Amino acid sequence: MKEEFMRRAIALSVDNVKNGGGPFGAVIVKDNEIIATGVNRVTASCDPTAHAEVSAIRNASAKLGTFNLSGCEIYTSCEPCPMCLGAIYWARLDKIYYANTKEDAKDIAFDDSFIYEEIALKPSDRKLPSESLLRNEAIKAFQAWASKDDKVSY
């Protein structure tokens, strides 16, 4: 079954190129059944977060009515980028299967290595300038959350 699910992700990626999207496809599987798919629609939708894995996660979460996708696995046509990897962890998917590697993606100008390098740096040392503002005011929301009895943890 694993190969069939991966072939579906790969077919989605090939079809998406024909339809004006990027060469990425993903499927989310629960109990040996595809419950959601996604393709890269970054340029088509003018949404830099519209990667195949994120789209599949959004679709699976909507279908299952939960943000917690434990019990599900993702099959993606390429090793996830840092954003997608983060989304996969937050969604609590049980396993990632991928076909193409991040090096394969780099070879066709989808190079995420600079993001991996940036994440390892202190914010003050990153290429994208950032600074903390109004932390003393913002912390109030965190304090309210911490003391909330009926919060839904995630």
State residue 32 phi and psi, 5-degree precision.
Answer: 60, 30
**Given 3, 4, 53, 131, the catalytic residue:** 53
Overall pTM > 0.85? yes
Within a domain: 153:
no
Within a domain: 152:
no
Domains of the chain: total:
1
Q: Give the confidence band of 154 by pLDDT, cuts at 50, 70, 90.
A: confident
Within a domain: 3:
yes
Active-site residue 53, yes or no? Answer: yes
Strand order in the sheet with 33-39: 33-39, 25-30, 72-78, 95-100
As a whole number, mean pLDDT of residues 53-78 equals 98
Within a domain: 93:
yes
Please give the Cα distance from 153 to 38 (Å, whole number). Answer: 27
What residues make up the domain containing 104? 1-147
Averaged confidence pLDDT in the chain: 96
Stretch (H or E) spanning 21: none
Tokens 């939708």, located at residue = 45
Within a domain: 16:
yes
The reported pLDDT for the residue numbered 122 is 92
Residues 79, 101: contact at Cβ < 8 Å?
Answer: yes
The reported pLDDT for the residue numbered 5 is 98
The reported pLDDT for the residue numbered 70 is 98
Number of H helices, E strands in the chain: 7, 4
Give the residue among 30, 28, 26, 31 at the shortest CA–CA distance from 41: 26
Within a domain: 6:
yes
The reported pLDDT for the residue numbered 103 is 96
> Which CATH number covers residue 31?
3.40.140.10
